[in-house]
Amino acid sequence: MISIIRNTCNGMNRKNQLLFLLDAFLINGAYVITTGTLLSGYAIYLGTSDFLTSLLNNSANYTTTLSILSFVIFERMKRRKNTLLILNASSRLLICLIALLPLVFDTKPVMFAFLAFMVITSDVIWGIYRIGWIVWMIDGIPKENRTQYIYLRTFLIRISNSVISMAVGFILDIYNKEYLGFLIIFSMSFILSMLDIAVLWKVDDHGYKAPDSKKIDYKLFLQPVKNGEYRSYLLFIFAFYLFLTMASSFTPIYQIRYLKLDYKFISTLSVISQIMMIVSGLFWSRVERKKGFKFVMVATAFFYAGELITLTFLRSDTYYLLYLSTIMLGIGMGGFITSIFTCRYAIMPEDRKTVYEGWFYFASGLSMLIAPFAGEFLRNHLPEFTNSIFQYSKVQLLYLISFGLICLLLFWTIAKNAGLWSCLFPREDNTQIHDGAQSKP
């Protein structure tokens, strides 16, 4: 591992590259505690409804719609480090303070209002921070080394998430999923967050090449959506996360409230998923070098679909299917997250990363904002029945619908990449899009 890190981190910014690897380990350990299943579990403990729990569970995703404002904030800023550290600290402090809400409020509606406000505000701040932070990190990595560095960083994130997930699962079960257990794990998250800020404080800020004009160029703001290749990428991202999240946003509720799974078991599943991400990530990195990132994006997305069809048949007496769905999700995430990252950085110009990155998070965040409402609408209009396959038909049928929509999207994408639609509907401009490049005959 040391030799891999030594070979990957090189050049003038080697110190920054090493510190960002440590940052990955610390902040993702802190972040996993305050998002997803653990945040949903805390909300369920407080007594929130299914819909509010789903919104909070997905908040970290849909609030990224406001990340597009990062263009206005960061584009004129040549030195960003201090601003980024303030945003980081503010976001992490807000999310960790939700652990104190039961000590402050006796009235549940008021407590739920503050819970929603603090979680969503924290995630909005984090979304804006993340854009500036990603550009800060990427600027210090040689272009020819980016893919290797991202896979290495992702590997460390998986290790961190596995260790922390297992630890907090045991802590919550030891304290019988009661308040003291949640207080301890949120305190752990706060400590890891402060350590992360201390690490980032040591990272050098070499400055950002900001435009000389003091006025904001709004033509530049719209440049990503005028770029045909990037626009197609954004549409794919929007549709994929909409179809996926309309069902997956209800998964923590389904596991905790309906199937009544304990946190130790859920944490074990999380660790299995992280291990599969680590193992499959090494495989997908080799495939990406040979087949290109578009191939990996579509291939790994099918594993996401595989997770959904498996969850369609999940009942209290078929809980073992969660092992299969977790393995499929881990294999998919092992390549998908990195391939969509590689894809957009291959398309975007080197001096316009902030605005392009902002549009990516706007597209993905908007889809995840709409998704829980779409999922709730469909769930309310699906039939409720019980048989040998369906125990909670409304949720299980929602997984099936999500699976079908993702498959349709992927088959459409395969046909588009193969040039089928161009053959059926020829255009005068025969622009051909390749992995990371655009060429015209």
Above 80 in pLDDT, residue 193?
yes
The model's confidence at residue 439, banded by pLDDT at 50, 70 and 90, is very low
Cβ within 8 Å of residue 366, ≥6 positions away: 62, 65, 238
Above 50 in pLDDT, residue 440?
no
Which ranges of 175-227 would DSSP assign to H, the alpha helix?
179-201, 218-221, 223-226
Of residues 86 and 6, more confidence is placed in 86
Specify the pLDDT at position 207.
62
Average pLDDT of the residues of the chain: 83
Q: What is the pLDDT of residues 230-286, one digit of tens each?
A: 999 999 999 999 999 898 888 887 888 788 888 778 878 888 888 888 888 888 888
Q: Cα separations (Å) of 208 from 48, 202, 321, 354, 355?
A: 44, 17, 49, 11, 14
Distance CA 278, CA 163 (A): 13
Q: What is the pLDDT of residues 414-433, one digit of tens each?
A: 888 776 555 555 555 444 44
Q: Which helix or strand (DSSP H or E) is residue 139 part of? A: none
Of residues 206 and 46, more confidence is placed in 46
Above 90 in pLDDT, residue 102?
yes
Cβ within 8 Å of residue 340, ≥6 positions away: 237, 293, 297
- Ranges 76-80, 182-186, 191-195, 288-292: which has the least confidence: 76-80
Range ranked top by mean pLDDT from 188-202, 305-319, 348-362, 407-421: 188-202
Q: Can you name the residues that pair with 439 across neighbouring β-strands? A: 432
Our CA dihedral for 300, 168, 28, 22, rounded to 10 degrees, sits at: -120
Residue closest to 133 by CA, chosen among 96, 93, 86:
86
For the chain, percent helix, then strand, then coil, each to nearest 5?
80, 0, 20
Above 80 in pLDDT, residue 40?
yes
Q: What is the pLDDT of residues 122-181, one digit of tens each?
A: 998 998 888 888 888 877 777 777 777 877 888 888 888 888 888 888 898 888 888 999
Above 90 in pLDDT, residue 118?
yes
**DSSP line for 75-91:** TT-S--HHHHHHHHHHH
Q: Cα separations (Å) of 10 from 134, 135, 143?
A: 18, 18, 12
Above 70 in pLDDT, residue 373?
yes
Specify the pLDDT at position 434.
46
Summarize the confidence of residues 100-109 as an average pLDDT.
90
CB count within 10 Å of CB 140 equals 20
Of residues 239 and 338, more confidence is placed in 239
CB count within 10 Å of CB 438 equals 13
Q: Which helix or strand (DSSP H or E) is residue 429 part of? A: none
Specify the pLDDT at position 426.
58
CB count within 10 Å of CB 207 equals 12
Summarize the confidence of residues 208-231 as an average pLDDT.
73
Specify the pLDDT at position 217.
62
Domains of the chain: 13-202+215-425 (1.20.1250.20)
Specify the pLDDT at position 441.
28
The model's confidence at residue 395, banded by pLDDT at 50, 70 and 90, is confident
Distance CA 244, CA 404 (A): 10
Specify the pLDDT at position 211.
56
